[in-house]
Chain A
């Protein structure tokens, strides 16, 4: 028989919605299925996926709240009569953030309606290659058939398997942004960009925050990195930058427990949580009590309930992610996947959106353009932000050899830090270039305020094959932090002091 829809998208997040809306532009009959399984702490949310509800958006807003705390301190130096210390109320911030997120949920629903995309709030699973069925919250079964199906169910935070009480007493980023009350004294093991970002803003709003690190910061996709260096996000192997970021956080007030890993979590009579951990350096066990433990040990793809085995969609045995080719096709014809759920791709909203759009254009719009995953810029929104594009220094060395690359670097001081008497020790940037004639730029790394704003334009340049001489020909905008990129001239090789001075 004929399928009911041209396209069914399972998962209403960044990738899924972008794909669905793009397909609708071509006059296709499109449906989106989105469902949020409540977290163990029973947190749930509306349409829009991780980014909108429990990712980029609330994270950046809370980061902004923390930055404003610093601004309040700076303001005094700039003449504003504000008595310190200023106190922060979690519930005011949380309500502001949550209200905005809800407006986005609403906005997405309206957009789907306007584009005549059918929306099902059900949890779907495959019953055959063209059929997905699911139960609504009320228990009613719905069956949807489609010519093409795109899986974009994203991921959910993992819990550590070997720590007693972890799931029972701990929360994750899924819960943090929806807390109505302050998390209080917080511990966040382990270290991924998520826990650094969260620890950063929690410290910024005045909470006692501790990060527990098993080994080195930002050591994301270590195993994957051996397999697929090409698809590496710039920051995941960039050790020097990660150290600078955490150094800054330490001077900013976040406590770091290094080379420690948790063993168990127990609840005390006071309702506080007692955590016991192993200190690998001292080979001892230590304990402390916290109000909240927020796990950030990685995310797992949401594929278990999809019933992928029934239809033969292949996944990576280690990560559980769906294996796709360059056109986002899975092992089953007419079933595709985009976003965090796909193997070997960066877990970023803009790449999911771009991939989703291009996929719709190829399916329905006679396009043949594939998604380019190279040189994807990104930013970690820690108190001192880290933005980057292209290769890390380590990846460049691995790919080209240390003798064939040149690293230009500089320590600089943002003008706004001067009057505010802020410490700029970790404000740093480096450009990794090929040494041979053209001196093409392989990677750019920047730590400082507004790192995302700085890096974005340079990412364009790198997409155009920018070279070091071209960068030097570009005149700087004064006074900004970004202009220092166009002035980089001291190499690591020279061993000279890389501190930039004045005008």
Chain B
């Protein structure tokens, strides 16, 4: 039967064949992973360890501006990695300023070259793409740079850049197609605006930029663009960092405002027009107030949309195999074993409903899933108390409940919030803000003052938060926290 459908390439016939004979071993592959990102690749490499025949299908549909990238998914190409590197570039700009107070001498104004930075970042990403291809080859995972979609039970169609289609069957599938930035649906958005998919490989300096959105993507990008010396404005529809602790979100916003980022609150763009072409050109944005009829206009070199991301689940043939998705959000609901409503089809990563959109979560879920499938393991992915960090100019690390959610769940009288401002030692000599860095823990009084929420705003927030997350996983209580000696002098000791 394998020979038959390879020669004839007839989907109808293939489906009939597969419908009748679904014995393991008669499939092309044990596992096909659709999507070569954090979750997909982790799952594929893990399955190969158990000597399974695995295929990864990865394909990047170019953005409206024509941007595309290699194997590795969002994180590697247009997410965590380039974001953190550009954030680092911005931090280094600040370090340059500090260094004068620490005795380093150089000419007054230091300029930044977008091209130098972007080239370095893209080179590094290229090395990662290459590294993944080698890793797949070494672990004997078959990789095809092709767009995968279901055409029938146990069968996918893979279409490559040249339009050539092939059919493959597998005993099991993992969908890990991730997400792509959302557009506003207003005149001029796809023609003239860019998204994070374009920003990190932009072949020219973005110049005066309007960032639309209040997600962590919006704030992180606005943050580093401002840090590199660009004129940045953020247009926010309502609140900052929806879903995050709002007290912390507001502190982040305040800090950014005091450090050169302008905010336009309670406005949404309604059209984008091109005033002048060029790289960058000049765009005119018209925006309407959400609180009334007021309209405003502004001119920018670049408009960066960061209003959210949509799962890539609408056009991968899920209806052909009966996989349920949430019609409104496009996300796929799974059980606690990452299984969809179709028993042989699983999903991991950003496309999952009610799960965190984070690389380490996708990797963990992917690996554990595969171990359960092929190595007899039983451990399920633990989605509780997953730590995260927002790499805004003042970094924010968090693990557990936000203050609002804790109050909602346990009641205000049952929680205790301990908090403190702190002044990083490294900020003293260069006279940087002494009242901006902040940390708080939220404790459940009824459960031995167990620490249920940890929040820190300050340098290296990610490094600080990681260990606390481990401690929270071990059931950390306030008493244990108090009895732990601090390392001096570091921020984390606060």
Tell me the nearest residue of chain B to A476, going by C-beta: B360
Residues 434-473 of chain A, each 1 if its beta carbon lies under 8 Å from chain B, else 0: 0000000000000000101111111111011111001101
Please count the residue pairs between chain A and chain B whose beta carbons lie under 8 angstroms apart in the complex: 298
Would you give the shortest CB distance from B376 to chain A, in whole angstroms? 17
B428 with A100: CB separation less than 8 A: yes
Chain A residues with Cβ below 8 Å from B111 are: 80-81
User: Restricting to A39-57, which residues have a CB under 8 Å from any CB of B?
Assistant: 51, 56-57
Instruction: Please state if B113 and A81 are interface contacts (CB–CB under 8 Å).
Output: yes
Query: Contacts A86-B104, A456-B464 given: A78-B89 contact, CB under 8 Å?
Result: yes
In chain A, residues 357-402, which have Cβ atoms closer than 8 Å to a Cβ of chain B? 372, 375-379, 387
A205→B111 CA distance, assembly (Å)? 23
Tell whether, in the assembled complex, residue B492 and residue A96 are in contact, meaning their CB atoms are under 8 Å apart.
no
Name A461's contact: one of B75, B80, B476 (CB within 8 Å): B476
Are A477 and B387 touching (Cβ within 8 A)? yes
B96 touches A61 (CB 8 A): no
Tell me how far the C-beta of B124 lies from the nearest C-beta in chain A, rounded to whole angstroms: 5
Residue of A nearest to B474 (CB): A464
Residues of A within 8 A of B104 (CB): 65, 68-69, 72, 86-89
Decide yes or no whether A251 CB sits under 8 A from chain B: no
Is B233 part of the contact surface with A, judged by Cβ < 8 Å?
no
Residue from B98, B117, B387, B481 within 8 A of A475 (CB atoms):
B387
Whether the Cβ atoms of B471 and A464 lie closer than 8 Å is: yes
- The verdict on B64 contacting chain A, using a C-beta distance below 8 Å, is no
Identify the closest chain B residue to A14 (Cβ): B488
Note all chain B residues with C-beta closer than 8 A to A65: 99, 102-104
Choose from A348, A419, A456 the contact partner of B124 (Cβ within 8 Å): A419
Of the candidates B80, B116, B460, B488, which one forms a contact with A450 in the assembled complex, judged by CB atoms under 8 Å apart?
Answer: B460
A458/B470 in contact, CB under 8 A: yes
B470 adjacent to A461 (CB under 8 Å): yes
Give the CA-CA distance A313 to B388 in the complex, in Å.
Answer: 52
Interface code B103-133, partner A: CB below 8 Å = 1, 0 otherwise? Answer: 1111100111111111011001000100110
Contact indicator per residue, chain B 482-494, by CB within 8 Å of chain A (1) or not (0): 0111111111110
CB-CB under 8 A from A476, the residues of chain B are 360, 387, 466
What B residues does A477 contact at CB under 8 A? 360, 387-389, 397, 462, 465-466, 469
A350 touches B486 (CB 8 A): yes
Chain B nearest CB, measured from A103 CB (Å): 8
Q: Are A61 and B429 in contact (CB under 8 A)?
A: yes
Contacts known (A92-B101, A96-B102); A503 close to B473, Cβ less than 8 A: no
A415–B81 contact, CB under 8 A?
A: yes
Contact A80 B96 (CB under 8 A): yes
| Minimum CB–CB distance for B366 against chain A, Å | 12
Q: Does B351 contact A (CB under 8 A)?
A: no
16 extra A-B contacts, CB within 8 A, seeds A379-B490, A460-B468: A61-B429, A71-B99, A72-B104, A75-B95, A79-B117, A79-B228, A82-B96, A348-B488, A350-B493, A453-B490, A461-B474, A470-B474, A473-B473, A482-B462, A482-B463, A503-B75
A-side residues, CB < 8 A to B, are 51, 56-57, 60-61, 64-65, 68-69, 71-72, 74-75, 77-83, 86-94, 96-97, 100, 205, 348-351, 354, 372, 375-379, 387, 415-416, 418-419, 450, 452-461, 463-467, 470-471, 473-483, 485-486, 501-503
**Residues in B lying within 8 Å of A, measured CB to CB:** 38, 41, 72, 75-76, 80-81, 84-85, 88-89, 92-93, 95-96, 98-107, 110-118, 120-121, 124, 128, 131-132, 135, 228, 358-361, 363-364, 382, 385-389, 397, 425-426, 428-430, 460, 462-471, 473-477, 480-481, 483-493
